[in-house]
Structure 1
Amino acid sequence: MKTNPFNIGHSHPVWLPNTMTWLYRQISELNSHCDNYIYCEKTENLDVFPIDRLRCFSEYPTKTKIRDRIIKRIGLSNGLNALVYAMEFDKINLLHSHFGHVGVTGASIAKKLGVPHVVSFYGMDIHKIPKKYPHFAMKYEQMFADTDRVFCEGPFMAKSIIKLGADPDQMCVHPLGIELNKIEFSPREWHPGKALKVLIAASFRPKKGIPLALEALLAVSKHTNLEISIVGDAGYDSDSLREKGRIFDFVTQHEMQNMITFMGFQPHEELFNLAKEHHLFIHPSLHAADGDSEGGIPVTLIEMAATGLPVVSSTHCDIPSLIQDQETGWIAKENDLNDLISTIERAIADVAKWPLITKNSRKHIESNYDALKQSKKLFEEYERILNAK
């Protein structure tokens, strides 16, 4: 017997890259409020991100896929009739597109179905996609016209999306949540004279600022004994592989091999285990040359701060909503090497304040970034939209 009042469709091309734990969590937490259906073009990491009600286009009959591609090629439709049929069969009440460029197609599908459409922006869709594909400016304009609500992670991101053409009344600031009930809070202690264990955890992409972090840590290492662990790796795309080359070249050129351990991608649970062994987390995000950005706040930054790990980051995008300097962490000017060096040194000098600052940080996260609270708020937005129809 059906207990949840609504069927919500979620559209994302791939279910699910290993760096998108945050999206898995967001949708999984919604299951106590509504029935959620995933629509994608291909799947990966299903052992890590198992999900009920998964509809994958690549698994549809070959005849259906060929027909849709032909129809798309000759311009009679967007070529996604199979997804429309699947959503009709599932009796979807509302379609939620994840990422702005996904919403371009999602808005068209929702219009065909006669259901409300909402879209969430996450970062690359705000600056990188429009810069690389200028024609998306017009596509976004049409999408906004056919969309009921636009979700984003913070006020900086909201302003950026409004510049793309969204109506301010469409915007809903909705920070991503983390599983606080599973994250133990343990304030760190470090004694000057001992090795300071620094953790960096991010995919190897220019927006993560890893080379900048290493250059700053190299300067700090002249007077502080550092042990640096880097969790993460490159993806398969050329931009990510180039960034990996930059990182390794810097380490080799400056003979930092003895102070750095590259750990590759690690399971989510193992990252939390590693966090317990470190004293300081560094994440100096920045706007990449190709326009890529965090958009809002890196979820890993929220998670690491929630463990009680002191964090140093930058004024990039909505990070200042999470980190207030010397209150909930330490924050440097974006892409400013000298200020990052100074900020790391301030964080080290403030070791006596770590217990208070990390306690403030955890309290702030509990108030604003709890996945259970955020999933309820997201469902309430769905409910408002559906009840208004």
Structure 2
Amino acid sequence: MHSLYGRPWWKVLHQKLHRRRHGYYPFQLQAIEESEAKVVHSHGGNSGRRNFRLARRMGLPHCVSFYGADIWKGALNPECLADYREMFQTSALFLVEGAAMRDKVVSLGCPPGKKVQIQHLGIRPEQIVFRNRVVEGEAEIHVLMAGRAIEKKGHLCGLQAFHRVASRHPQARLTIMTWGDKVDRVDRIDRLKDYVVEWGPWRIGSKLSDNCHTPKVPPVHAAMPSLPESQCACRQW
């Protein structure tokens, strides 16, 4: 793990000044050399903007995975769009989650064809053996809802749906892991105060999930929620 976090402030300042001038951090060069990396992968378009000059400097192929807002919102920012267009010409591969995002990437200047590939991140349910999970007697049923408290994540819809469940199954309990500018709106659903057992920030997600039976992901738009996805894979919810 190579990171700026935990380094003395003067070293961080030096790294940031170098990045402002050259487009990458010096410690990234060291990390690539020490690991003998063969490819630079950027998780998200914003990371791609920061890394394509680094990959070019090191003579390595650069792969970028787009996930949503990084490409749709980024297209509205002239500075971001200029970086993307340069990145599209110099980087080797771009991974997207569907045809609509692929077409959007191409419309912004990426050459069509093999340079943009669709990588579906969803699971194959037919390959997963069903496990019937039973809660004995009147034991509590714990549900975890995670994500930023913004409109598109659908927390208000999720809380309304959970209220319907709790009215029929009073032993149901909801744990909410969230942050953002809409937390106060989520917190005002008074009729759920007896069922919401804990609020927590993102960083304690694994701890909160240990005691939950199922994740609840109610996004307004189609999405691939990374935290519940990874925890489902690890814990076989």
How many residue pairs match? The answer is: 228
Shift in alpha-carbon separation, 1:167–1:272, aligned structure 2, 3 A: farther
Report deviation, 1:61: 7.0
Cα–Cα, structure 1 residues 229 and 223, in superposed 2: closer, same or farther, change >3 Å?
closer
- Output the CA distance in 1 between the equivalents of 2:196 and 2:147: 16
SS in 2 for 1:167: coil
Q: Does the aligned pair in 2 maintain the 1:229–1:263 contact within 8 Å?
A: no
1:225 aligns with 2:169: yes
Counterpart CA distance in 1 for 2:95 and 2:5 is 24
Q: Which residue of 2 aligns with 1:66?
A: 14
1:102-141 matches, within 5 Å, as 102-131=47-76, 133-141=77-85
Matched, 1:78 2:78: no
State yes or no: 1:245 paired with 2:184.
Answer: yes
Partners of 2:229 and 2:34 lie apart in 1 by 40
Query: What SS is found at the alignment partner of 2:198?
Result: strand
- Residue pairs, 1:184-263, within 5 angstroms: 186-189=131-134, 197=141, 199-206=143-150, 207-218=152-163, 220=164, 224-226=168-170, 227-234=172-179, 240=180, 242-249=181-188, 251-252=189-190, 255-263=191-199
For the residues of structure 2 that align with 1:67 and 1:202, how far apart are their CA atoms?
A: 34
Q: Which moved more, 1:104-113 or 1:296-305?
A: 296-305
Amino acid at match of 2:23: N
Q: What residue is the counterpart of 1:271 in the other structure?
A: 209
The answer to whether the Cα contact below 8 Å between 1:88 and 1:113 also exists between their aligned partners in 2 is no
Alpha-carbon offset, residue 94 of structure 1? 1.7
Question: Which amino acid letter does the alignment assign opposite residue 65 of structure 2?
Answer: S
- Report the AA paired with residue 58 of structure 2: L
What are the Cα deviations for residues 67-89 of structure 1, in whole angstroms up to 9, with x where unaligned? 761x566x5x3253443354345
What is the alpha-carbon distance in structure 1 between the residues aligned to residue 94 and residue 176 of structure 2? 32
Change (3 A) 1:86 1:224: closer
User: Which amino acid in 2 is paired with 1:140?
Assistant: Y
1:144 paired residue number:
88
Report the CA distance shift for 1:211/1:134 in structure 2 as closer, same or farther (over 3 A). farther
CA drift of 1:106 comes to 1.1
CA distance in 2, matches of 1:135, 1:59: 31
Q: Could you tell me how far apart the structure 1 residues matched to 2:107 and 2:225 are?
A: 19
Deviation at 1:283, TM superposition (A): 1.6
| CA-CA distance at 1:104 after TM superposition | 1.3
Could you report, residue by residue, the CA deviation over 1:38-64 in whole angstroms, capped at 9, with x for unpaired residues? 544336xxxxxxxxxxxxxx46973x8
* Aligned 8 A contact 2:45 2:65 in 1: yes
Structure 2, unaligned runs of 5 or more = none
* Structure 1 residues 119 and 142: alpha-carbon distance in aligned structure 2, compared to 1, 3 A threshold: same
* 8 Å CA contact 1:199, 1:228 repeated in 2: yes
2:15 and 2:217 map into 1 onto residues whose CA distance is 47
CA offsets, 1:206-254, max 9 Å, x none? 2321112113333x259623523124132xxxxx1x22111102x23xx
Contact 2:166/2:195 (CA < 8 Å) preserved in 1? no
SS of match in other structure, 2:71: coil
Q: Cα gap change, 1:155/1:304 in structure 2, threshold over 3 Å: closer, same or farther? A: farther
What displacement does 1:197 show? 3.9
Residues 232, 263 of structure 1: 8 Å contact kept = yes
Compute the TM-score of the two structures, normalised by the length of structure 2.
Answer: 0.73
Structure 2 contact 44–70 (Cα < 8 Å) conserved? yes
User: How far apart in 2 are the matches of 1:269 and 1:245?
Assistant: 23
1:283 corresponds to which of 217, 223, 227: 217
CA contact 2:63–2:94 (8 Å) conserved in 1: yes
2: distance between equivalents of 1:66 and 1:307? Answer: 42
AA at the equivalent of 2:209: L
What is the TM-score normalised by the length of structure 1? Answer: 0.48
Identity of aligned residues (%): 22
Counterpart of 2:39 in structure 1 is 94
Partner of 2:5: 42
CA contact (8 A) 1:176 1:299 kept: no
Question: What letter is aligned with 1:260?
Answer: V
Q: CA deviation at 1:186?
A: 3.2
SS at match of 1:187: coil
Answer whether contact 1:185 1:306 (CA < 8 A) is retained: no
Structure 1 residue runs of 5 or longer lacking an equivalent are 1-37, 44-57, 235-239, 288-292, 310-389
The one-letter amino acid of 2:197's match is T
